[in-house]
Amino acid sequence: MLGGPDGVRTFLPQLISFIGVGRGSNEIEAYCQENLEVAASSIQSGLVFLRQNGFIIRSSKTEYRATPVALSWAKDADGIDLARFLHCKLRFFGEILDEMSEAETVGELLSAAQARYGISALRREDVRRRVHLLRALGLLEEAFGGRHQLTAEGLAFRDSLPLEAPSQIASNGFLTSSILNVDGAVEAMAVVDRLRAESRNSAEPTKFEEAICDAFRLIGFETELLGGSGRTDVLASSIITNSDGYTVAVDAKTTGGGTLNEGAVNLAVLSEHRRLHSADYSAVVGWRFSPRLERLSADNNVVLITADQLCELVGFQSRTPLALNALQSLFGTPGLASLNSVQAAFSVAQRSQRLVGRVLELLSNEATGDDEITQGALSVEGLYLIMRSEPEAPSTEEIREVLEFLETPFVAAVKRSSNGRYHVVEPPRLTGHRLRCLGSSMNAQ
């Protein structure tokens, strides 16, 4: 923002008063450099921020004028009034104050915004700008180690605000809101709770088998609960037919005492189960495993999956579902399972989701502007120039793939003009609703 966050109370009212009923961009740039000591590189981004948040509007190709609301505020330059104005304009602004009891760093706040409020397109720099603004307005103060805390003014301001209600979050971290399939998220939470409880319920091992069967189904497998003498407990197939994909023979092992040792798992029997069911892989799911059992399982082509790891897989798939071929290396690497490759694939998928949201955000912002050059549309190259300095800067090919996806008839969120530029054709929330309905029709099959 122009003048940096610390210039909110001094620079911003001066600038708004200077712009008044109309100033050219060259005049604004000269004024900022001479009077406010603002670097030229910050001026254009600052003007975009002011325009997007209702402080100024573009009256012509090169001229801006301050809005009546901004001019009225600039007379007294009251910090609390400005904070209320920004709270109305920016999602997850005043809500940051409400999150301070559990999230004190920018990274923690970003995680809260994405998980608790479903704002997947929010970036670290967006949260950092909000935090700096709140600090400049005297509502937050820096503590130590990059952490922040509420001031007395911040506490009073928070209690006076109408805050967006966070999505319902269970203790195991699953999001249940209109952004996701609520029934699916609730089921995932229940399965995670069962896995953790029943993995240590040695008196009723069938309950753990049932929980594992449900977990693999939620991950995306076609599952059969078998059990009984001479058979595996759960058979999980990555595809309905046997012409492709892979199958995992899964055995459940409960323990009342904690760690499972080599005496609790008959590795030879697991090999027989794999042959009997023509499975590609053998897996054992249990609370945790002894180091010796980990070594023996590696020698016998069996993968060991802890209950917590299986819970994490269910969590991954409830938030950003991966194709099951992305999980195959997990089952194909014997010994104690490692989720490193899955976590990497999950991160890539999340980045792709954020990129879709970011592209839609930029196109929506451009559509609401009045730039005579872009006329509310941006090209692949234009989007790249905007995002190239961002932490997750995409390539032009990635941007093109996102636009092609958004342009498909089933999504129908953007349209390509004859000059090669793209513009949104509807509010992004309607696009999101259409995709959720499409997902619901698939789940019904």
Q: Domains of the chain: which residue ranges?
A: 5-77, 82-162, 182-338, 346-443
Cβ contacts of residue 219 below 8 Å, gap of 6+? Answer: 313, 314, 317, 324, 327
pLDDT at 232: 92
Cβ contacts of residue 159 below 8 Å, gap of 6+? Answer: none
pLDDT at 32: 86
Tell me the one-letter amino acid at 251: D
Residue 126 has pLDDT above 60, yes or no: yes
Residue 187 has pLDDT above 80, yes or no: no
pLDDT at 186: 62
pLDDT at 359: 93
Residue 179 has pLDDT above 50, yes or no: no
Residue 428 has pLDDT above 80, yes or no: yes
Which fold does the domain 5-77 belong to in CATH?
Arc Repressor Mutant, subunit A (1.10.10)
CA angle 32, 35, 40 (to 5 degrees): 30
Tell me the one-letter amino acid at 329: S
3-class DSSP state for residue 66? Answer: strand
For 341-353, the pLDDT digits (tens) are 888 888 888 889 8
Residue 371 has pLDDT above 80, yes or no: no
pLDDT band at residue 443 using 50, 70 and 90 as cut-offs: low
> 254: which strand partners?
none
pLDDT at 182: 43
Share of the chain above pLDDT 70, in %: 90
pLDDT band at residue 111 using 50, 70 and 90 as cut-offs: confident
pLDDT band at residue 175 using 50, 70 and 90 as cut-offs: very low
Using CA atoms, how far apart are residues 334 and 402, in angstroms rounded to an integer?
Answer: 37
Q: At what angle do helices 68-76 and 79-89 cross, to 10 degrees?
A: 150
Mean of the pLDDT values across residues 121-144? 87
Least confident segment among 19-23, 293-297, 372-376: 372-376
pLDDT band at residue 173 using 50, 70 and 90 as cut-offs: very low
pLDDT at 212: 95
Task: Report residue 253: phi and psi, to 5°.
Answer: -130, 115
Mean of the pLDDT values across residues 423-430? 87
DSSP string computed for 395-428: PHHHHHHHHHHHHSTTT--EEE-TTS-EEESS-H
> 29: which strand partners?
none
- Identical fold, 5-77 and 346-443: yes
pLDDT at 305: 96
pLDDT at 216: 95
Residue 376 has pLDDT above 90, yes or no: no
Least confident segment among 21-25, 36-40, 130-134, 210-214: 36-40
* Assigned token pair, 394: 């995409």
pLDDT at 185: 60
Mean of the pLDDT values across residues 276-296? 94
CATH classification number, 82-162, choose in 3.80.10.10, 2.60.260.20, 1.10.3430.10, 1.10.10.10: 1.10.10.10
pLDDT band at residue 172 using 50, 70 and 90 as cut-offs: very low
Q: Name the burial class of residue 65, with classes exposed (0-12), middle (13-18) and buried (19+) by CB atoms within 10 angstroms of its CB.
A: middle
Superfamily of domain 182-338: Type II restriction endonuclease, HindIII (3.40.91.70)
pLDDT band at residue 235 using 50, 70 and 90 as cut-offs: very high
3-class DSSP state for residue 47? Answer: helix
Arch. (CATH architecture) of 346-443: Orthogonal Bundle (1.10)
Using CA atoms, how far apart are residues 43 and 3, in angstroms rounded to an integer?
Answer: 9
Radius of gyration of the chain (CA): 27
- Is the whole-model pTM more than 0.75? no
Q: First CA to last CA across the chain, in angstroms?
A: 50
DSSP string computed for 295-354: HHHHHTTEEEEEHHHHHHHHHHHHHSPPPGGGGHHHHHS-EE---HHHHHHHHHHHHHHH
Of 107-111, 183-187, 198-202, which one has max mean pLDDT? 198-202
pLDDT at 58: 79
pLDDT at 240: 59
CA angle 229, 233, 238 (to 5 degrees): 140
Residue 174 has pLDDT above 70, yes or no: no
* Torsional class of 343: left (φ above 0), alpha (ψ -120 to 50), beta (otherwise): alpha
